Amino acid sequence: MKKELLKVNDLKQYFPIKGGLLGRTVNHVKAVDGVSFTIYEGETVSIVGESGCGKSTTGRAILRLDEPTDGTVEFDGEDLLSLNKSQMRKKRKDLQIIFQDPYASINPRQTVRQVLDEAMEIQNVIPREKRADRIKELMETVGLGAHQADRFPHEFSGGQRQRIGIARALSVDPKLIICDEAVSALDVSIQAQVINLLKRLQREFQLTYLFISHDLGVVRHISDRVIVMYLGRIVEIGDKKSLFDNPQHPYTKALLSAIPVPDPERKKERIILKGDVPSPINPPQGCRFHTRCPFATEKCKTDTPELRAADYMKEGHQAACHYMEEIESGERKPNYV
């Protein structure tokens, strides 16, 4: 039986909106609103969704880079939200993040050696006299030369800088790495190299990944399980094959229909969603997707659907839709009025 490494329960992240002469809180941006999921040791779980759906905020809230508003985050059996700042700083040895922008996430005034040494110094994982060998090993592990350790970040390309970010995350021997759009800023050919590097490192160091991305092609390649988010909530979750082969939520179907097919003779029906994503300041009642869903009814406007599995779905595959059985069977037709 797989070991639960990370368990997130009813996680909420609300950002206050200030207004008036006294700067009082007049409303909140509900970026993450009741997210629950589990990650098992050694697997890669991806979170996908449109920009603004709350996927990156979820990652930051787990690490307490932004303090969550409510919920629990258990890592290796310990509630991270109950730790004080000093305790959390020590715990971050086991939880690392690779940021989206390889240009902004590395201090431009430090050499690569200083960047890696600083991480090991803060977490006190390796004696000072052994760090030079460790830095050399890290550089070679991520595909860079040991002689490049004394260069500054501006002397590297975007792909090389992201490799430095990966080396920094590895330097403290973490158990879980959150990859926040880790390849989105890179060229396609470099993306493939970095993804293959992440997969190789996972095998070598028994790493667990939470991979946050909007690129479904990348997600399909790297993931074991996939979480689909919309407007701060999870609308579908399941293993990669089940979710990509048999999506149940209308939003997931629309997302997957947008994946390009590398065959000019093969026609693929594209599902075009109408309207824009509602504001997270005042999200719709009931199912948050009902304002754009072609199958929505009055029930969708008032009743919030829970994540559940239909009889024909594989174990672990769940979706939050009132009518997924009727949609699957063809009994319920889309309403494009």
Q: What is the mean pLDDT of each run of 10 residues along the chain (337 residues)?
A: 92 93 89 96 95 93 95 94 92 91 89 93 88 93 92 92 92 94 81 87 93 90 95 96 94 88 71 84 93 93 94 92 93 75
- Does residue 162 sit in the same domain as residue 183? no
- Does residue 306 sit in the same domain as residue 246? yes
The residue length of the chain stands at 337
Render 51-75 in DSSP notation, one character per residue.
Answer: TTSSHHHHHHHHHTSS--SEEEEEE
- Does residue 47 sit in the same domain as residue 80? yes
Residue 263's pLDDT is 67
Residue 337's pLDDT is 43
Helix 131-141 crosses helix 158-170 at what angle (to 10 degrees)?
130
Residue 336's pLDDT is 59
- Does residue 180 sit in the same domain as residue 42? yes
Residues sharing a CB contact under 8 Å with residue 186, sequence separation 6 or more, in sequence order: 102, 158, 159, 162, 194
- Does residue 184 sit in the same domain as residue 302? yes
Cβ-in-10-Å burial (0-12, 13-18, 19+) of 87 comes to exposed
Residue 123's pLDDT is 87
Find tokens 């999506």 and name the residue.
247
- The whole-angstrom separation of Cα 218 and Cα 177 is 17
- Does residue 42 sit in the same domain as residue 133? no
Q: Which of 152, 172, 192 is the last residue of a domain?
A: 172
- Give Dmax (Cα) for the chain: 71
Strands 44-48 and 4-19: unpaired
State the pTM of this model. Answer: 0.92
- The whole-angstrom separation of Cα 178 and Cα 56 is 10
Q: Which of 146, 172, 198 is the last residue of a domain?
A: 172
Are the C-beta atoms of residues 321 and 249 closer than 8 Å to each other? yes
- Does residue 146 sit in the same domain as residue 165? yes
Structure tokens at 322: 């009132």
- Does residue 197 sit in the same domain as residue 299? yes
Q: Which of 172, 190, 212 is the last residue of a domain?
A: 172
Domain span at residue 148?
107-172
- Does residue 184 sit in the same domain as residue 119? no
- Does residue 194 sit in the same domain as residue 279? yes
- Does residue 222 sit in the same domain as residue 246? yes
The count of domains in the chain is: 2
Domain holding 20: CATH number? 3.40.50.300
- Does residue 78 sit in the same domain as residue 213? yes
Let me know if residue 157 belongs to a domain: yes
In DSSP terms, 37 is beta-bridged to 8
Let me know if residue 13 belongs to a domain: yes
